[in-house]
Amino acid sequence: MNFNPLSDTHIKNLRAMVAEDRFSTGESVLELHAKDESHHRPCRPESGIWPVTRDEVARVVKYANDNRLPVTGWGSGSSLEGNPIPVQQGLVLDFTRMNRIVDIRTGDFQADVEPGLVYQDLNEKLRHTGLFFPPDPGARATLGGMIANNASGTRTIYYGSTKDYVLRLSVVLANGEIIELGTRASKTSSGYDLIRLFVGSEGTLGIVVEATVRLAGLPAEFSAAVATFASVEDAGKAVFEIMRNGLHPAALELLGPECVELMNREENLTLAIAPTLFMEFHGSTTGQLAEVLEMAAEICNSLGCRRFEPGVGRAERDRIFKARHALGEMIIRNHPDSNVLVMDVAVPITAYSPLIAAIRGELAGTGLVSYYISHAGNGNVHLNIVGKKGDTRQWELINGIVQRLVTRSLELGGTATGEHGIGLGKRKFMIAEHGSSLQWMKRVKSLFDPNGILNPGKIFP
Amino acid sequence: MNFNPLSDTHIKNLRAMVAEDRFSTGESVLELHAKDESHHRPCRPESGIWPVTRDEVARVVKYANDNRLPVTGWGSGSSLEGNPIPVQQGLVLDFTRMNRIVDIRTGDFQADVEPGLVYQDLNEKLRHTGLFFPPDPGARATLGGMIANNASGTRTIYYGSTKDYVLRLSVVLANGEIIELGTRASKTSSGYDLIRLFVGSEGTLGIVVEATVRLAGLPAEFSAAVATFASVEDAGKAVFEIMRNGLHPAALELLGPECVELMNREENLTLAIAPTLFMEFHGSTTGQLAEVLEMAAEICNSLGCRRFEPGVGRAERDRIFKARHALGEMIIRNHPDSNVLVMDVAVPITAYSPLIAAIRGELAGTGLVSYYISHAGNGNVHLNIVGKKGDTRQWELINGIVQRLVTRSLELGGTATGEHGIGLGKRKFMIAEHGSSLQWMKRVKSLFDPNGILNPGKIFP
C-alpha cells in the first residue's frame, strides 16, 4: 500500500474536524504514541487526534481514506505485541477522552460503553450493582483495546474472553460509514455474526466507537488456595488434573519460582519461592467451595505438592493478584539495561506438560534470564525473556528460541497467541497457523478496508 | 442469480463423483428433501447426493460452482424457518452418511465430528466419559445443521449456544477449496475469527465438513422445580426476578396452559393446567442447589405463584423435558387440517413482560389457536399459531400478527430470531434489524460465494 505523508493542508483540515486542543503534532504526543508495552521498535505517528464523538471518528477516518493516510486506534498502549505501534506513521486516534459509560442496564446485565473506557473504571462504577465485566487482562486496558485484541486474563478459564461479552458494536469503517451490529437480546441467529469478525481484528477492519457488553453477577462466595511444587512440570500435571476433573476454577495461574521471588520482593509478600499454583473458585455457597477446595488439595498432594495452603482470604487474594498483574512491569523495571520479550502461546490442556518440557529444553544451558507466567487452566503460557539492549547475538538466540517454541505450540495443536494478538511479532507464524485460510482473512481485510489505511502493517505477514 | 437446470450431462458427471447408490433423482428422494419442519411451501431439489468424504463434497461443490447449479446442505430437515428448502432446486447434499465421530479427546474436553452426526448420538457416545455437548435444540438435529443455524435450546441460558462450542471448522467453499479454521487451544487471539462467520450463516457461505467442538462436564448435582402461575404475565415477572437475582438456572422454560394440557394428554403427565415454569439448576453440591431452589421458591411465591413444586427427580425431569421437546410435533399432530407457524423472537430480559403483553394484545379476540412456548431465561419466545390450510383470510391475519410482534421485538431491542435462523420466513425483517450492516453481510456473501450457488434464496430479502 502507498500512503501519503501528512501535509500542512492535511493538518489544517484535520485540525478543523476536532476542537483545537484535540489535535496535535507535538513531539511529546508523537513520542507517547510511538510504542506499547512490548519490546518492539517504536515508531512515531505524524499526529495525534482525540475524538470525543463517533461522528468525529467517522469524519477523520473518511478523510484519511480519501487521502490515503494511515489510521491507528489507541487505547492505553498496554498491548504486548506492538499492536498499536503506527509503523506506517499517519494518524493515531487516541480514545482517552471518548471514555463514557453511556448506560448501565442492571436488569439486562448490560452496559453501553465508549472505547476509551478503562475496564477497571467500569468495574469500579459497577461495584454497588453486584455485577462486573469479567475479562481482566491486568494492565489498565481500555474496552476498545480489549475488543480489538479479544483480550483475556486470569479469569478467562471460568468467564471466557472479551469476545464472549460483546453483544452490540458501533463501528466506523474505513470509508467513514458507521454500522451497527448485534442485538440486546441475549441470543440471536439473525444473519452473519459480523461482531466477532471485528473482535480480535486489532483495528484493521474498522474502529469501534461504542459497544454493548454483557456483565456477570459477582460471585456470592469465593475461595482461593496457593500450592507450591518441586518443579514446574509437577505443577503442570496438577493443572491438567484439576481441569480434567472439572473443578471449574475461576483462576488457575502457574508461576515459576523466579516470579514468586520478584513478587515477594516488590510487593512484600511472603510466598514460598517455588513453582506455584494460584487457584480461585467462585460459587454460591461456602459448603460447595470447601468441597471443591478439598478435591483440589487431594489432586495437588497426590502429585507431590510441597504445600497446599487453602482458605486464602479476600484481602490476601487481592494482594497476590495485584502482584500477579504487576509482574510484567516489575520484570521490565528490574532489568533496566535490557528489553523483555513476552512470548504468548496457548495449547490444548493435554499438551500443557509437553510444552513445559519444550520450554525447559530450549532454555537449558543458555544462561538466559526468563520468567514463566501462565494462565495455566487455559493452556496459555507466557515466557518473559530478558535480553540485553543491543546484544545482537543474545537477541538472535532469544528469537530462535521463540521461533521454535511457537512452532512447537502449533505442532501441539495450539495457537501462536492466546491473548496478546498478532500485532507485529506473530505475523511470521500466520501461514503456519492458518494455512490457506489466511488468504481469506486478507480478502476480508480488502473488502472492509480496500486502501489498507486501518492499522497497516499488522496481522498479515 | 441465474442458475442452470440439471442436465443429463450434469447428472452423469455428478453420479461419477460419488458411489452409484449415493446419487439420486428419484421421486421419493426429491420429496424427502423438499421441506423442513416449518410451515413454508415445499420445493423439490433436482437431485440428492450423499457424500461421505470432504473431498467428495469439494468436488461436487466445485462442479456446481463451475456450472452454476444451486447447492443446499441437508442435515435432518428439523429446522423451522425453511432454512434448507431448496427454493432454487439444484443439488441437495445430504450429510446423513457423513456422520462419524472422528475423535473424542476427553482430556481436552473436545470431540471432532462430521456434519451429519446427530447431537443426541454424540451425547449417547459420551455418556460414560462424564462429558456432554450442551446445545440442545430438541429435535434430532445434526451437528452440521446446528452449526449452520447457531442452534440453541433449553440449556442455552446456562451453557450458551452452538457458537460457543465450535473451536475448529473444516469448510468447503463455493469454489471447492477446503479451508481449516481455528485451533485446539481453548483460547486464541490469532487473526480474524472466521469460524463465527460460518456459524449461523445457514450454509450460504460454505459447507462445514468437520468440526472440533468443546464439551462440558456433566453436572455433579442437579435440581429441578415446577412452578404454576395464574397468568403468563405473572410467570414472566418471576422469570425476570430469577435472572436479575443471578440464580443461574440451567433451564428456565415458560409454557402456556394449552401446552401443559397437550403434554399431559400425549405423554401421560399430571401437571396442573396453568402457565408453568420449569426450572433446573446445575451445581457441584446438593447443599448449594437446595439454597438456590429456596431462593427461586421465595421469588415465585412473592409473585403469586399458585404452586411451587421443588425436588423434581431426574426421571420426572427427563419425562417433562422429553414432552417439552416433543411439543412442536405434538401441536402439528393435533391439528391435521392446519399448518403451524412457529414464531421465534428474543428480547432483552427487561422486555420480556412487555413482549408478553404485546402477544396477549395481538391474540385477543382473534379466536386463533396458539401455543406459548419460551426459553424464558433468554427472553426467547416461540408462539406456535395454528392456521387452517388454504384459509387465506386466516393466514393473512396470522401473518399480520407475526409481522407486528417481530417488529415489536425489534423495537424492544431484540432480534427477529433467537435460534431458528432467518431462512425464508424472517428475510423481510433483515433491513429493520440490521440496517446498513445488511449491505456488508451481502458483500461478505459475494466474497465467499460470488455466484451465489450456496443455499440461494435464504437470509437476504
pLDDT digits (tens, 9 = 90+) for B64-81: 999 999 999 999 999 999
- The grid coordinates of residue A98 equal 471518548
DSSP string for B138-196: SS--BHHHHHHHT---TTHHHH--GGGGEEEEEEE-TTS-EEEEE-SSS----S---HH
> What's the pLDDT at B314?
87
The lowest-confidence range among A59-68, A177-186, A313-322, A415-424 is A313-322
Mean pLDDT, all residues of chain B: 96
> What's the pLDDT at A289?
86
- Asked if residues B91 and B60 have their Cβ atoms less than 8 Å apart, the reply is yes
Cβ contact A189–B418 (<8 Å): yes
Kindly indicate the confidence band of residue B454, based on its pLDDT and cuts at 50, 70 and 90.
very high
Residues B392-411 have a mean pLDDT of 98
Q: Given a cut of 90, is residue A311 above it in pLDDT?
A: no
The nearest CA of chain A is from the CA of B176 a distance in Å of: 13
CA atoms of B229 and B319, how far apart (whole Å): 21
The nearest CA of chain A is from the CA of B441 a distance in Å of: 6
CA atoms of A249 and A223, how far apart (whole Å): 10
* pLDDT tens, position by position, A254-276: 999 999 999 999 999 999 999 99
What is the percent of chain A where pLDDT is above 70? Answer: 100
If one counts every other C-beta atom within 10 angstroms of the C-beta of residue B248, the result is 18
Q: Given a cut of 90, is residue A288 above it in pLDDT?
A: no
CA atoms of B382 and B417, how far apart (whole Å): 10
Q: Given a cut of 90, is residue A284 above it in pLDDT?
A: no
DSSP string for B194-232: -HHHHTTSTTSS-EEEEEEEE-EEPPSEEEEEEEE-SSH
The nearest CA of chain B is from the CA of A270 a distance in Å of: 32
Which residues in chain A have Cβ-Cβ distances shorter than 8 Å to B287? 285, 287-288
Residues A138-157 have a mean pLDDT of 95
Which residues in chain B have Cβ-Cβ distances shorter than 8 Å to A416? 190
Residues B308-322 have a mean pLDDT of 89
Kindly indicate the confidence band of residue B288, based on its pLDDT and cuts at 50, 70 and 90.
confident
> What's the pLDDT at B400?
98
Q: Tell whether the torsion through CA atoms of B404, B408, B409 and B410 is positive or negative.
A: positive
DSSP string for A259-302: HHHHHHHHHT----SS-EEEEEEEES-HHHHHHHHHHHHHHHHH
The lowest-confidence range among A97-111, A232-246, A349-363, B346-360 is A232-246
Q: Given a cut of 90, is residue B161 above it in pLDDT?
A: yes
CA atoms of A57 and A49, how far apart (whole Å): 9
Cβ contact A194–B291 (<8 Å): no
Which residues in chain B have Cβ-Cβ distances shorter than 8 Å to A184? 347-348, 413-414
> What's the pLDDT at A244?
85
CA atoms of B70 and B91, how far apart (whole Å): 6
Residues 6+ apart with CB under 8 A from A17: A23, A56, A59, A60, A63
Q: Given a cut of 90, is residue A108 above it in pLDDT?
A: yes
> What's the pLDDT at A313?
85
> What's the pLDDT at A387?
97
Kindly indicate the confidence band of residue A308, based on its pLDDT and cuts at 50, 70 and 90.
very high
CA atoms of A150 and A377, how far apart (whole Å): 18
* pLDDT tens, position by position, A193-230: 999 999 999 999 999 999 999 999 988 888 999 999 99
> What's the pLDDT at A448?
98
Q: Which of A156, A413, A437 sits opposite B194 (nearest CB)?
A: A437
If one counts every other C-beta atom within 10 angstroms of the C-beta of residue B37, the result is 19
Kindly indicate the confidence band of residue B311, based on its pLDDT and cuts at 50, 70 and 90.
confident
- The grid coordinates of residue A441 equal 482473512
Question: What residue in B sits closest to A182 (Cα-Cα)?
Answer: B434
Q: Given a cut of 90, is residue A49 above it in pLDDT?
A: yes
Question: What residue in B sits closest to A410 (Cα-Cα)?
Answer: B183
Which residues in chain A have Cβ-Cβ distances shorter than 8 Å to B105? 348, 350
> What's the pLDDT at B285?
76
Ordered by where they begin, the domains of chain A are: 8-96 (3.30.43.10), 97-217 (3.30.465.10), 219-326 (3.30.70.2190), 335-419 (3.30.70.2740)
What is the percent of chain B where pLDDT is above 90? Answer: 91
Q: Given a cut of 90, is residue B447 above it in pLDDT?
A: yes
Residues 6+ apart with CB under 8 A from A7: none
Q: Tell whether the torsion through CA atoms of B129, B131, B132 and B133 is positive or negative.
A: negative
The lowest-confidence range among A364-368, B284-288, B411-415, B453-457 is B284-288
The nearest CA of chain B is from the CA of A190 a distance in Å of: 6
Cβ contact B437–A285 (<8 Å): no
> What's the pLDDT at A146?
98
pTM passes above 0.95: yes
Q: Given a cut of 80, is residue A285 above it in pLDDT?
A: no
Residues B117-143 have a mean pLDDT of 95
Q: Given a cut of 90, is residue A2 above it in pLDDT?
A: no
- The grid coordinates of residue B48 equal 440428492
CA atoms of A450 and B443, how far apart (whole Å): 13
Residues A417-423 have a mean pLDDT of 98
Which residues in chain A have Cβ-Cβ distances shorter than 8 Å to B187? 152, 156, 161, 346, 378, 380, 415, 418-419
Q: Given a cut of 90, is residue B41 above it in pLDDT?
A: yes
The nearest CA of chain A is from the CA of B358 a distance in Å of: 17
Residues A319-346 have a mean pLDDT of 94
> What's the pLDDT at B221?
85
Kindly indicate the confidence band of residue A323, based on its pLDDT and cuts at 50, 70 and 90.
very high
